[in-house]
Chain A
């Protein structure tokens, strides 16, 4: 355990219905670090992110965020340090504008509502038309949804980002914008999950699930 780590998983074991997905998995990230989590499908990449969000509880091992152990009591405050953008994000029904405003109705983000003023600038930065704000989320393309989800996460000013295949539906230009954005943000600790490691060549650290997984855990 290192108090200076922003994110730390130590000897985590996760099983689903008798199948071992993580077996003694460990990783850590320093503040501001950028890391790529890579590995074949079914190797447990998304499970690592779910452990860090407290959606999956390892049956052995520990998860620490900013030095604090994740428990049923602390998980609610620890999530306030983390932004998560999932693969094929599902943010619920409503217009893009309503989706972006929704998290500010939660007590955890009540003081951040002013951040919504940054929406036009972020839309321009990520190549989105402002007219999209009034469109239903269900009518947006996969790439537009990914960028709206990313903007929603950025508005919450979280220091840790967990990004699951966040550029998978983007064209090369938009992909470059996203990568450049995170490369320039020294204040953000980011863990990317991606199959295409070339896009994330700038990262400080590559965590291969192939090495961490037990032979029978990897698909």
Chain B
């Protein structure tokens, strides 16, 4: 296989020419998204330039604590993003959710690097950071869906929830159907992706490995391993996240403590 083709700065600039199509559509139909699109493009470009430079340094140094620190930064950003997307209070949810994200990312990542790739350095920057990022990115998406479904579900059917407590349910018994519903909603997209992978689209990691010069035979092995790691990571993060956040989100008497929601005034 050939090595990956380098993209020069002018060739990369040519990629921006493709923006003419979506921008023309927005102008023609007067869709008020041009401002958001420009902000998004600028942020994407700057963030990726920064990350690219930073990762080059991290890859070059390949120091264990630096890789770990970078992963912790990514987890912190994901944590804050999930809590904000779910309209929950950072002070109540962020810490237990951070622990869940850490476990849900670290367990499949360490198994991937140590057991599957057989690397002696479990936080080898070249593997740990991209694979960790892929697992975490999917945990982020799944947690936003799952955490929101869970808390909005209980808030929306509070009478039925309180009735289950009145019927004698302990807290873990009363929240069980809501945990199941949240897990279904959060894990369904990953299951759907696994079901259609390779038929509808070539997945990101496989594409990356092929572009990097490896054969499709190697690429599919990476893809299978990463899909299982992602599925495992999202399940761990969500189940652990709901369990840990539930400890601080319900009153000691059982009802949901509505002050966890950002749009609820503290009384």
Contacts and interface: CB of A to CB of B under 8 A. Distances in A.
A16 B170 contact: no
Nearest to A57: B253
Interface in B70-128: none
Interface in A83-109: 83-84, 86, 88-92, 102-103, 105-109
A16 B267 contact: yes
B267 to A, nearest CB: 5
Among A80, A103, A156, the one with the most B-chain Cβ atoms within 10 Å of its Cβ is A103
Contact of A76 (B162, B170, B265, B267): B170
Contact of A92 (B163, B253, B255): B163
Interface of B: 157, 159-160, 162-170, 173, 177, 251-255, 265, 267
B255 A109 contact: no
A203 to B, nearest CB: 22
A86 B168 contact: no
A184 interface: no
B178 to A, nearest CB: 10
Contacts of B159: 86, 88-90
B160 A91 contact: yes
A-B CB proximity, top 9 nearest: A108-B168, A72-B252, A90-B159, A103-B167, A84-B166, A92-B160, A54-B253, A90-B160, A106-B169
A90 B177 CA distance: 15
B157 A92 contact: yes
A156 B168 contact: yes
A152 B168 CA distance: 12
Contacts of B265: 17
Contacts of A82: 166
B170 A108 contact: yes
Contacts of B169: 103, 106, 108
B165 A55 contact: yes
B199 to A, nearest CB: 34
B255 A55 contact: yes
Contact of B177 (A57, A75, A92): A92
Nearest to B255: A55
A57 B250 CA distance: 13
A107 B170 contact: yes
A79 B164 CA distance: 11
Contacts of A16: 267
Contacts of A109: 167-168
B110 to A, nearest CB: 36
28 contacts: A16-B267, A53-B162, A53-B166, A54-B254, A55-B165, A55-B253, A72-B252, A72-B253, A76-B170, A76-B254, A83-B166, A84-B163, A84-B166, A86-B163, A88-B159, A89-B159, A91-B163, A92-B160, A92-B163, A92-B177, A103-B169, A106-B167, A106-B170, A108-B167, A108-B168, A109-B167, A152-B167, A156-B167
Contacts of B163: 84, 86, 89-92
B168 A57 contact: no
Contacts of A53: 162, 165-166
A82 B160 CA distance: 16
B251 A57 contact: yes
Nearest to B176: A105
A138 to B, nearest CB: 12
Interface in A34-93: 53-55, 57, 72, 75-76, 79-80, 82-84, 86, 88-92
A193 B170 CA distance: 26
A38 to B, nearest CB: 22
